[in-house]
Amino acid sequence: MSFLSRKLLSLPHIRIENCRAMGWAAVCQMTVTNKVKENYEQAKKLIESAAGKGAEMVFLPEAFDFIGTNSQETRQLAEDLQGNTITNFRELAVKNKVWLSLGGFHLKSNESDEKLSNCHVIISSSGDLVSTYNKAHLFDVEIPGKFRLKESDYVNRGEKICDPIDTPIGKLGLSICYDLRFPELSLSLRKRGAQILTFPSAFTVPTGMAHWKPLLQARAIESQCYVIAAAQTGKHNDKRSSYGHAMIVDPWGAVVTECREGINFALAEIDLDYLNKIRREMPVMEQRREDLYGNIQSVNTEQIEPIPADDWIFKFGPATVYGHSVVHRTNSSLLFVNKKPVVPGHSLVAPLRGVIRLTDLSTEETSDLFNLVKQTEKMLMKNYNTNSCTISIQDGPLAGQSIPHLHVHLLPRKENDFNRNDDIYSELEKHDKVETGWRDEQTMAQEAKEFRKSWKQTFG
């Protein structure tokens, strides 16, 4: 009987004979050093062996490429995504017909940047770069006289949560090592559709002994996802050692498989039918009381969706908004310039979905809408050199709503822009009911272009 079969049979709630698996995953354990070629050969053997045992996706740990002896050496050894390391792994994926999760690549984005990115790279079995994720939470720990490891000394913090990606074993949400300690990230990935969370790691020995397994089980239980955690193990150099214990945890929190000591891998079936059964029988995501403690909503500081093409059309009630009038777009909201502004800079934010009233929005849409409102206010006040902005929603016909599509007015304010400050509300009520004063598309497109430039200057 194989090691994996013994592990599965030891878990009473898993019935192998009735298991309807979606795919096999291999979780790997490595001991890398600063010798890049030797590390590659180590990974190559693990991938070939795992593929030979039926793995459809192979997971390598954080720093699979190398662990430097100091930050200077780390910068020297780093590559970009077109370098030899990623090229070699793309060829390995094709040759072995497996998907690869490369858990933490030392990414050199450009020569002028002194810092790197800790980048999780996903490669398909056809050798395509499917997704990349830069580590959001950096391991910065210093205990005077005992221990110091500050990742931020040489790594740039990631600023984006990646949407889960489709793989042969299920929808995969990407994280790296220290991200494991922040449940908000896992819950956000689950809300975006993740069925599997992966935490490629290089945990230190003291933190690994204390927290590695309970943290992995906690993330699996609270998100009701499979958790796949490849790991570094053993001594890398005189200053650094890793805990190991790479494992796969199921959505019930049970450890399905775990690596033995040393360089090796372990296989497990990822059963999405079992996952869905757990979610049906204990629907914790539907029972969350976000009215009490808020909504877990992942908001990326970089643009989530590209600016649409000029001929793109947004149906704003009976009106039409073209792509050239759009300033910013998120997953569910849109910022665009106004065809008939009350004051210079008067802009509109609306949900992409054609809802009429504020109460028609979902919790996630509400959060997304008002986050975009907040960002828009910041951009407009900076652009118009003011510290004030009128924000208004005409929610319903008795409130003055003339377009049956929920929208938020943002009007940057200047000293003495109205005789009486509150006159702005009467102007809002009647401004679009007068036939004259409407702007042409070219004027709107030019303003949107200027605002997009201001947005980039404000948020990067």
Q: Which member of 28, 56, 62, 108 is catalytic?
A: 62
Return the pLDDT at 306.
62
* 383 contacts: CB under 8 Å, gap ≥ 6: 345, 412, 451, 454, 458
Which is nearest to 187 in space by CA: 305, 269, 293?
293
Which is nearest to 223 in space by CA: 175, 255, 276, 187?
187
Q: Which member of 106, 339, 407, 409 is catalytic?
A: 407
Distance CA 200, CA 28 (A): 9
Return the pLDDT at 12.
31
Strands of the sheet containing 226-229, edge to edge, are 165-167, 170-174, 196-198, 226-229, 247-249, 255-258
Distance CA 244, CA 202 (A): 8
Return the pLDDT at 163.
85
Q: Other CB atoms closer than 10 Å to residue 226's CB: what's the count?
A: 27
> Which domains, ranges and CATH numbers included, belong to the chain?
3-291 (3.60.110.10), 313-459 (3.30.428.10)
Query: How does DSSP classify residue 151?
Result: G
Give catalytic status of residue 407 as yes or no. yes
* 378 contacts: CB under 8 Å, gap ≥ 6: 458
Which is nearest to 396 in space by CA: 384, 406, 409?
406
Q: Which member of 135, 171, 245, 409 is catalytic?
A: 135
**pLDDT tens per residue across span 330-364:** 878 999 999 989 999 999 999 988 889 998 887 77
Tell me the whole-structure pTM to 2 decimals: 0.66
Residues of the chain with pLDDT under 50: 1-21, 301-304
Give the DSSP H or E segment for 319: strand 319-322
Chain position carrying tokens 């090592």:
177
Give catalytic status of residue 324 as yes or no. no
Give catalytic status of residue 135 as yes or no. yes
Q: Which member of 28, 119, 177, 259 is catalytic?
A: 177
